[in-house]
Amino acid sequence: MSKNIVVIGGGIIGVSTAYYLQKEGYNVTVIDKSNMDSGASYVNAGYITPSHFIPLAAPGMITKGIKWMFNASSPFYVKPRLDIDFLKWSLAFKKSATKAKVEKAIQPILDINLLGRDLYEDLKKSNDFNFHYDHKGLLMLYKSDKVGEEEWEVGKKGIQQGLKVEHLSANEVEQLQPNTNLNIKGGVYYHSDAHMTPGVFMKEMISYLEKNGVVFYKNETVTDLDVSSEKITKIVTDKREIEVDEVVLAAGSWSPQITKKLGLKTPIQAGKGYSINVKNNTNITIPAILCEAKVAVTPMEGFTRFAGTMEISGINNTINSKRVDAIANAAQNYYQNVTISNQEKENATCGLRPCSPDGLPYIGKSNSCKNLTVATGHAMMGWSLGPATGKLVSEIIADKKLSLDIASFHPDRKF
């Protein structure tokens, strides 16, 4: 008899997991507290990022975070607050931000990003989907020599890892990206990266899953879990009870609310990111990160998205206009032909990215619960790692050989 599997969370990780589980022949149900048309999986930069092999918890981030703490429009803003979970997470982040731990994290982060890119390309080639996918690389654009040197040091690490990376002058960037009137000193160009339009993919994937028997319970909140002999037997929501054989936790920033019900510790802080969509022609054809401002730029289907900032301020969807203005100002400063209207800024959206203290996702079974597979904590790489995580989860549950070593992502790891 086929197992009944419930996936808690309907973002990119949840729907990707549902896809690979239904391919294995399981009965799959997805529960999400939203209507599944907003949030981080819809407002992100749409990057598939082998270039992002350095975790967020890197040396120097603590110093920058303290400096930026007093500037609400800074690229990385941490709102100080007396919250025990936040304080424990901050301490774990500090412990993780060492050179040795970053070096150890590079290979597993790169491996899972490359797997994610391969799986997106497999999906694109299938007859089931017609989503937007472009493999044009990623430009790291910088204004100062100091930042340029820092970015090229990372680029050289990328070359050592087998990626194709080039250090370009401002003129060379202009040749790649003409008619944008760039105000930069140069750029580091990763050929490895690709980009998408997230909302298009999410809509297609959900439609495909519904047609293929996956059940969706939207606008529904998990309120309790029945546990017997270290196994979840029933999921209780505000609308129904569901008997389960296996459970996948893919609830993003809300995941700790679920694991606490099981007595498990899954340190996560919500990292809020903002995005602005510009529909007039910007002439931007290659995705870029504006290094000093930490703003991501993506040419999407019918518009250009300017996204960015990391705001650690708890679970809330409050739009901070100062942070929106900072993204718009950076965009117009680097791309001098770009104009972002007040209306476009007023239409800005935000999403909450689940950040682990060490910058690595949680993927795998917890030792404390036999039929729970955790799939969360992907931070800014959630979009890039969606299919890879879904594939790995399906392999875990089907007891198949894993596509890659996931020891670094163990949900019970200590900080």
Residue spans per domain, the chain: 4-409
Q: Is the dihedral of CA 375, 378, 383, 389 positive or negative?
A: negative
pLDDT at 1: 54
What's the pLDDT tens digit per position in 368-388? 999 999 999 999 999 999 999
What percentage of the chain has pLDDT greater than the value 90? 90
Among 34-38, 90-94, 289-293, 336-340, the least confident range: 90-94
Give the pTM.
0.96
The amino acid occupying position 83 is: D
Spatial distance between the Cα atoms of 119 and 29, rounded to a whole number of angstroms: 22
CATH number of 4-409: 3.50.50.60
Q: Is residue 300 within 8 Å of residue 329, measured between CB atoms? A: no
Find, among 240, 234, 201, 219, the residue nearest to 6 by Cα.
Answer: 234
Q: Is residue 382 within 8 Å of residue 40, measured between CB atoms? A: yes
- DSSP element (H, E) containing 295: strand 295-300
pLDDT at 81: 81
pLDDT band per the 50, 70, 90 thresholds, residue 161: very high
Helices 61-68, 84-96: axis angle to 10 degrees equals 140
Residues 6+ apart with CB under 8 A from 189: 137, 138, 139, 140, 165, 166, 167, 168, 173, 176
When pLDDT is averaged across residues 259-271 and rounded to a whole number, the result is: 93
Helices 12-23, 198-211: axis angle to 10 degrees equals 30
Residues constituting the chain: 415
Q: Is residue 286 within 8 Å of residue 177, measured between CB atoms? A: yes
Spatial distance between the Cα atoms of 146 and 299, rounded to a whole number of angstroms: 28
* DSSP letter (8 states) at residue 285: -
Q: Indicate if the pLDDT at residue 282 is higher than 60.
A: yes
Buried b (16+ CB within 10 A) or exposed e, 68-90: beeeebbbbbbeeeeeeebeebb
The amino acid occupying position 394 is: S
pLDDT band per the 50, 70, 90 thresholds, residue 67: low
pLDDT band per the 50, 70, 90 thresholds, residue 172: very high
